[in-house]
Every structure is written in C-alpha cells, then in structure tokens.
Structure 1
Amino acid sequence: MASSVLLAAVYSGVILLLAKRKFRGEELGKTGFAAAAAAVFLTGLILRLWLGLTSEGFSSDLDTFKAWARITNEVGFGRIYREDIYLDYPPGYLYILTGLEKLRLLWGLESTSSAFTLMMKLPSILTDMACAGMLLVLARPRLGEKSALFLSAAYLFCPAVFLNSAQWGQADSFCTAILLGSVLLLYREHYFPSAILYGVAIACKPQMLIFAPLYLFFAVKQRKFWSLLLGIVSAVATLLLIATPFTQDFNYLWLVEKYRTTMDYYHYYSINAYNFWALIRWNWKSLPQGVAGSLLNLVGPVLATALCAVLLGFSKRKDAVFACPVLLMSAMYLFSVKMHERYLFPALLFLLLSYLFVRDKRLLYAFSGMAFSHYLNVAYVLWQAQEKGSSYDPNTGLTVFLSLLQLLAFGYLLFVAWSVYIRGTVREGREPLERPLLD
C-alpha cells in the first residue's frame, strides 16, 4: 500500500508541475509528432498488457465474469437470465463476455490461465487506448501537439485508469468510452446517434443512468424538445433491441426488474466508496428500511441533478456539457448511498476533456486531486481484499482520511466549476490554435 501512495503522489506531482508549464514550440513536425505519439501509446499498451498478464486483480470479479461467459455460451442468451445464478449485469456486456469465451474455446485456453484473464481485461484495456486517442485527436488542433501529447499521456498513465482495467479487470473503461462518444455527439447536437450510444451504455451498466439529466437539460437549453423526445425513444429502443435475444415473447418486464434488483442489491450506505458515509464510518453499514431508506436513496440523485441543472442552466458555455458528467458522477459518488469504490472513474476522463475545451489549468489541478484520491481509494480496497480477504475492517482511520480527501477534492472541483462556467472567469487560458474539431 505504501508503494501505491508513493505512485499516486509522484503521478499527481508530475501533473501539477506540467500543468504550470507553458509549452513552447508546440509543433513537432509530422514525423516528430507521429513518433512521439507512437512511443506514448505503445508504452501505455505494453504496460497494460504486462500488468494484465501478471496481476491477479480482484479475483472474485474476474471469476464472476468468466462464469457468466461460460454459462451464457452454454445455455444461450434466451436462458441465461433464467438460470439460478448471481447475475447483476444487464445484457449488453454479456455479448462481449460470450465472444471472449468463444475465443478461449477456439484457442484451447484454460479458463484459469493468465492468458484468458488478460483476455477478460482486453475490452477495457483497448478502450483505455481509444479514450486517450480521442483526447489526442481533439487536443491537437486546439492546444498544440505537445499539449495534446501531455493530455493523452495524463490519461494513459493515470494510476487509477491502469488499476481499473489492467489490474482490477473491471468494465468501467468500456462503458466510459461509449459514454464519451455519446456526449461528443450530443455536443454537436446529433441527438439520434448520441441517444443510440447512450442506450448501449445503459445496456452495459445500470450506473450509466446517472448521466440521464445531462441529456435532458442540454436538450431543454437548446430548445430541442422534439429531439429530446426522439432521443428518449431511440435510447429505449436501443436498450430493448439489445435485450431482445434474452427475452421471451417480447415481454421486457424482466429487464425492468433486473435494473430494479441490481440497484437494490447492495442495501448499504457505502460499498467501499470513501465518501460522506464512509467519513462518518458507515461504510458497509446497512440502510434503514421503509421511508427513511427511501429518502436516503434520493439524496445523491437530487443533489447531482440540481448541480447539473445549475451548470447547464446558468453557464453561457456550450462546452459545459463536458463538465456535467464530472459533477453528476462526483456528487452521486460522494453523497448517494450504495456506491462502489470504482464508480467515480468516468469523471477522470471528462475532467481532462473539460480542460481541453476551456483551457483553464485549474481543471488540471482538480483532475490531479481527484486522480490522487480516487486511486488511493480503489488501491486500498484492492489491497485489503488481496491481503485480508473478507475479514478486513471497512472503517479504518485511513478510510476516514481518504473520504475526507475525496470530499476536499470535490469542494475544489465545485469552486473551479462555479468560477469557470457560471462566473465565466477563465485563468491562464489560451485561444485555440485553429478552429476546434467539434464546433
């Protein structure tokens, strides 16, 4: 755990130092830029493949993914949700898992082999690369070549991003990449394809529902009411289309029930998310039943929705749409009940994307603080699981300290968001080098 703290400190320190630097001589030339980008991305990929192959990760999650892949391949889509097994994912990601299982059988790999474990991590590893690539493509014409390389490298080599995909083996990066495409299309007011991608994201993970207010308030502000309606219909239709092979007689009530039971499965204030509830030592404490429990379920969603409404309602910047996922996810993570340690993950990418459009270096400082505290949260949970199994203390002094750290990072984020998007005060900004790709 000490090495994790050191790694987080070094990474965040480097980000802070480079954020203050004014890159001069931005152009590297066609050959120089291509060589530098290839070196950055190849290094990021090699490190991920090595970690994916050698790191045990969170074995219970990976074993669960492998079991879902095997059983789905054996019984088929139509029966998997009728099997007497624990399955809390909606159907979207089962397509990926089943495809990986078919490849395992084709190549004759053992299900317990490190090669198959790496295969299970590959969807998130590859989408890590894709998200960093999108940052590079978008940042190059706006910030210059050196700044674009810095921004993509900041994401590629973020310890929290490494841990989530290459070590833990979770699917957060995969879903975040789909959400990224959807929000970029929303920014350009391509509501129909944006809604389709958002429907795919919801079909992969229920947590993607957290971002629904973003689409609602953006369309309302742009006065695109028919587009909003079309978007809702398109997202729902996409979700139902993905679920159809798993459905009998076109009765989709099972899908509604699956989302409900998934969101109600962990009836605790916090599930290792070091947030307000962990700060008061209520990590893994059972929620009350009845009216009190129902009201507690509303705290995070109401706060997150209000922040999103204020940001989009009062900001004169259209690119505030990229900051909304950060506020939505951060507010939900820190104040909602039933949050897992990894749920903050999408906020990291969208913070860097927000800086790309605003060019206020305080957003990089906010990213540094959030990346530091979030990584320590997830690394500490993973360390406890590997070292102590299920007998660890969920409410240690370090848990409380890390909870406070994440709340302070959120406080700074709120200050920067208010200053940049509401007051319109952009510090250390710079004009784009040429017309932005998305305008």
Structure 2
Amino acid sequence: MDNVNTMSTNKKSWFFEDGKPVSRNMFIITGTVVILIRLLLTTIPSYQVDMGGYRAWSLYLAENGPVGFYERYHVVYAPAYMYLLWITGIIAKAFSVNASTHAFLIKLWAVASELVGAYLIYKIGKKYKKERLGFILGVVYALNPGVFFNSSIWGQFDSIPATLLVGMIYAFSVNRKMTAVVLYAIAVLTKPQSALLTPLGILFYKELFDFSNITKEKIVKSIKETLVAICVGLSCYFIVIYPFYYHTDLYERMKSTSVVKDFIAESIDYFWWMPNLYLTSVEDYPYATANAFNLWTLLGGQPVKDSNIFFILSYKTWGTILFLICIGIAFAYLLKKRKSDFAMYFASFFILSSAFTFITRMHERYLLPAIIFLTICVLWEKWMAIPLTVLSVCVTANHWYIYDLSWKDVFWLRNYDPVAMPFAFLTVLVVLFGAGFIIKQILPAKKN
C-alpha cells in the first residue's frame, strides 16, 4: 500500500512540481519518439493542389535559380520560403528522388519548425521555472493534430512564421531586441500575415512607459535602437528580396531617362514589390471566407464576394471594423500589461485568432499560428488548456474536412455546410473568450 501511495505521489510531483528539471534521458527518449511519430505522419499523402505547385517551383529554382521565378509562375507566397524550396529542389535533383520523396523533403521544413517551436515552449517554461510543464506542453504541441495536419499531412508551412514570431517574443523577453527584429522581418518575408503582430512593437519602447522614471538617456537610447532596428529590418528585406526582384508596373510608370529619377523610381519600386505581391495574391479569392470556418461561415459568406452588402455595409467593411476593435482591445491590454510576458503571448493568440475569425478572404489554414501562443499561455494559467483544446479541434476539423473533400475533387464548401457550421461557432466562441478575458484584465478590479 505504501508503495502505491509513493508511486502516486511521484507521478503527481512529476507533473506539478514545475521547478524540478527534466532528466537528460527523458528528454532524449521522448524527443526521439516524437520525431519518429512526426516522420511517420509525414509519409501521408499531401494536399495535391498545394504540393504540386511546391514541387514545380522547387525544381524550377534548382534548375534556373530565382531570376524570373515570380514572372513565370503566379506565386502568392513571399520569397523567404522559396529559399527552402530551392534547397529542396537541389537535393531532389542531385539524388533523382521520386515525387513522393520530394514532397516528403518539402514537408520536413515545416516539421522541423514545429519541433523548434516545441523546444521554444520548453525553454520558455524553463525560464519561468516551470521546466516540466514546459516540456509536457512542448510534446503536446508537437503532437497536436491541428499542428501536424498542416505540415506533415497537408504539406503547408504556416508553422514556420509562427515559430519565428514566438522566437521574436522570447527574444524581447530576454532583452534581445535586434534578434527580435530579425525574426519578425523573416516571419513577414515568409508569410505577410505575420505583420498582424505589429502592435507588439510597443514592447520595443516599454521602458519609456514608466513615466515616473523616464530620463533623457532612455529617450536617446530608444531613438538609437529604433534607427538600428529600421536598418536591420530593411537589410533583411533587401537580402531576401534581391534575388527574386523584378520591375513592377509602378516602376514602368515612374522610370525616367534621368539617372537620379530612375534610381528613385527603382528604390520605391523595390520596397513596393512585396506589398504589391501580397495585394495581388489576396485578389485571387475575394470572398467573405475562403473555406475558413469563421464568423462569415455562420453568416452565409462561403464563397460570397466580400464586396457584397451584409446589413448596410459590405462583408469586407464589417470584417475590418471588427478586427480593428480587436486590435484596439489587444493594444490597450499590451499597454496596461507591458511588463507581463504572459500578456505578449496571449495578445498574440487573440490578434491571430480574431484576424482569422473576422477578416474576410481567410483560408482554412490561417488559424494554425494561434495554437502555439495559446499553448504557451498554459504555462501561467493551466485552465487555458480548455480553450486550447477547443481551438485545436477547430483547426484540425477545418484542415481535415477540406483535405478530405479534395480527394473527391471538391475544393469549395457550399454555403452553410453542416460540418463547417458547428466548428465555425466554436471558433467564434474562442475569440469571444479571448476578448472577455482581456477586457476583464484591463478593467479596474472591483473593491470589496
């Protein structure tokens, strides 16, 4: 009997005594098992529409390099991921691998990013003396169906910018501002949706919000850091974009026989290139929702043009208004809780999930990055495992249903789809939970 009680106590202490470290053997054995499971899952056939494009782009880059790539193909993705496809294409060509092996190699980049994300969760837990909980959450994240369906099965790479953005916040938390700037820039250059977390830039200046202790030296330091950050960000942009750059219509309209004017025109065009690529890509699916289980699924927006009127205003206008309200709530929260690392991760979850829920033209995959941020929040509030579970179920269902339909040559949901509706409702509830939690944190506590 005593042995049973001792065993029970040991089990309980392993999970709840966060201060105790994870043994090296436990780390290696669990890590190996997780990696093997993920590799096995990665052998499952991909979503062929996306993977067919990735393989073609990968082989083209291997054979021809980046020059003329965006002119030859209608590519809606930013250039950073193209470098990974380029490397994969070189490997595939060198070893003459077949199509399925090539797809497997392409998927590995996102799988690797999720394993790095799991390790970051562990590191964050360790930083706050919750190493064992961080370890458990890292494993849970790596084996979360919503996460591995996106990469190991579908073949997408939404987890790559998600991991970079978590790294950005972690870098902020350890006062590595320039590292944070680099990670943010690369995330945006991987998927422009990463720019949704721009409000977190307020953390760059959190020292200045302590008005009682503000000094001239702090102001000067912030100005210098801002100028350096701008230079670092522009350098990342220049390095990543340069091999793929080509003149847009803007340059053709602005170019001149004058060397100086032509230089100015090309400089402006160079930094317009990326926004132009993104703005062009969002016109491909101008619908209130593009297979995303969100608010507009509930309100009959699949697939209805977002310029259509829905109760006085267009879907697009309503989506913008609702998202800006959410941004305002998140910004107020970050201002009030600027010293709280938990607030950074929760605000990130809220911004990303509200963007998916309210902004029009969203795809089924765009809710995925919210998972890692809410997983991290469980380090502080264990009960947040409940909304995390709901969020994960919604992401998994959205991926699985669209993936399953594709094998029947069905690529667009019908309006008010009976499978989509309940999960869209749950997604909206998760976002409302986030808004309610933040508002409660912002409002002054009631005095007894």
User: Does TM, scored on the shorter chain, surpass 0.5?
Assistant: yes
Q: 1:295 to 1:136 in 2, by over 3 A?
A: same
Counterpart CA distance in 2 for 1:191 and 1:77 is 31
AA of the residue aligned to 1:156: A
Q: 1:150 is matched with which residue: 136, 142, 145?
A: 136
- State which of 188, 207, 223 in structure 2 corresponds to 1:222: 207
For residues 99-126 of structure 1, give each alpha carbon's deviation from its aligned partner in whole angstroms, at most 9, with x where no partner exists. Answer: 000000111112x2x2211101000111
Which one-letter code corresponds to 1:287 in the other structure?
Answer: D
Alignment partner, residue 105 of structure 2: 119
Give the whole-Å Cα distance in 2 for the aligned partners of 1:29 and 1:325: 28
Match of 1:309 in 2: 331
Is the contact between residue 28 and residue 146 of structure 1 (CA under 8 Å) also seen in structure 2? yes
Conservation of the 8 A alpha-carbon contact between 2:307 and 2:314 = yes
CA apart distance, 1:420: 5.3
Aligned twin of 1:16 = none
Say whether residues 1:38 and 2:28 are aligned partners: yes
Alignment partner of 1:161 is 2:152: no
> What corresponds to 1:89 in structure 2?
77
2:96 to 89, 103, 108: 108
Q: Contact 1:196 / 1:238 at 8 angstroms: preserved in 2? A: yes
In the alignment, is the contact (CA less than 8 A) between 2:107 and 2:151 conserved in 1? Answer: yes
How big is each residue's C-alpha offset from its partner over 1:165-188, in whole Å with a ceiling of 9 and x where there is no partner?
100110111121111211211233
* Matched residue, 1:383: 404
CA deviations over 1:254-283 (Å, ceiling 9, x no partner):
333212212333201011111110011212
In structure 1, C-alpha distance between the alignment counterparts of 2:64 and 2:308, rounded to whole Å: 37
Alpha carbons 1:370, 1:410 under 8 Å: kept: no
The partner residue of 1:365 within 386, 403, 417 is: 386
Match of 1:298 among 320, 327, 348: 320
Aligned pair count reads 397
- Paired residues of 1:269 and 1:286 also in contact (CA < 8 A): yes
Structure 1 contact 333–339 (Cα < 8 Å) conserved: yes
* Identical-residue share of aligned pairs (%): 20
What is the deviation of 1:28?
6.8
CA contact (8 A) 2:330 2:438 kept: no
Equivalent position of 1:23 in the other structure: 15
Whole-angstrom CA distance in 2 between matches of 1:322 and 1:391: 33
Structure 2: segments with no counterpart, 5+ residues: 1-11, 209-218, 247-265
Equivalence for 2:181 = 195
Which residue of 2 is the match for residue 176 of structure 1? 162
How far apart, in 2, do the equivalents of 1:289 and 1:230 lie? 44
- Correspondence 1:407 to 2:432: no
Shift of 1:332: 0.5
Find the counterpart in structure 2 of residue 71 from structure 1. 60
Equivalence for 1:324? 347
Tell me if structure 2 keeps the 8 A contact 1:317–1:421. no
Distance, in Å, in 2 between the alignment partners of 1:229 and 1:301 is: 30
Q: Does 1:205 align with 2:191?
A: yes
Stretch of structure 1 that moved more, 235-244 or 92-101: 235-244
Please state if 1:263 is matched with 2:309. no
Question: What does residue 216 of structure 2 align with?
Answer: none
Matches of 1:29 and 1:247, distance apart in 2:
48
Q: Which amino acid aligns with 2:197?
A: F
Which residue is 1:62 aligned to? 51
Give the Cα separation in 2 of the matches to 1:259 and 1:279: 27
Residues 380-428 of structure 1: CA deviation (Å, up to 9, x unaligned):
2222222342365353122111111111122223333444576689xxx
Q: Report the Cα distance in structure 2 between the residues aligned to 1:257 and 1:127, rounded to whole angstroms.
A: 27
Task: For residue 29 of structure 1, report the CA deviation from its aligned partner.
Answer: 6.7
Shift of the alpha carbon at 1:164? 0.9
Task: Identify the residue that residue 393 of structure 1 maps to in structure 2.
Answer: 414
Q: Sort the Cα spacing of 1:138 and 1:187 in 2 relative to 1 into closer, same or farther, 3 A.
A: closer
Question: What TM-score, normalized to structure 2?
Answer: 0.81
Tell which has more relative contact order, 1 or 2 (C-alpha 8 A, sep 6+): 1
Q: Distance in 2 between matches of 1:165 and 1:210?
A: 22
Note if contact 1:273-1:341 (Cα within 8 Å) is conserved in structure 2.
yes
CA distance in structure 1 between the partners assigned to 2:198 and 2:412 by the alignment: 37
Specify which of 126, 136, 152 is matched with residue 140 of structure 1. Answer: 126
**Structure 1 residue ranges without an equivalent (≥5):** 1-19, 426-439
Return closer, same or farther for 1:394/1:128 CA change in 2, 3 Å cut-off: farther
Bigger radius of gyration: 2
CA contact (8 A) 2:306 2:316 kept: no
**Per the alignment, do residues 130 and 424 of structure 1 end up closer, same or farther by CA in structure 2, a change over 3 Å counting?**
farther
Aligned CA distance change for structure 1 residues 101 and 326 (closer, same or farther; 3 Å): same
User: Is the contact made by 1:315 and 1:422 (CA closer than 8 Å) also made in structure 2?
Assistant: no
SS of 1:397's partner is coil
Q: TM-score, normalised to structure 1's length?
A: 0.82
Q: Distance in 1 between matches of 2:190 and 2:321?
A: 25
2-side partners of 1:141 and 1:238: how far apart? 29
Q: Aligned-residue CA RMSD in angstroms?
A: 2.7
Residues 1:421 and 1:352: Cα distance change in structure 2 (over 3 Å)? farther
Q: 1:29 to 1:89 in 2, by over 3 A?
A: closer
**Cα drift, residue 308 of structure 1:** 2.0
Deviation at 1:353, TM superposition (A): 1.9
Residue of 69, 79, 82 corresponding to 1:80: 69
The letter for the 2-side match of 1:344 is L
Q: Is 1:273 the equivalent of 2:292?
A: yes
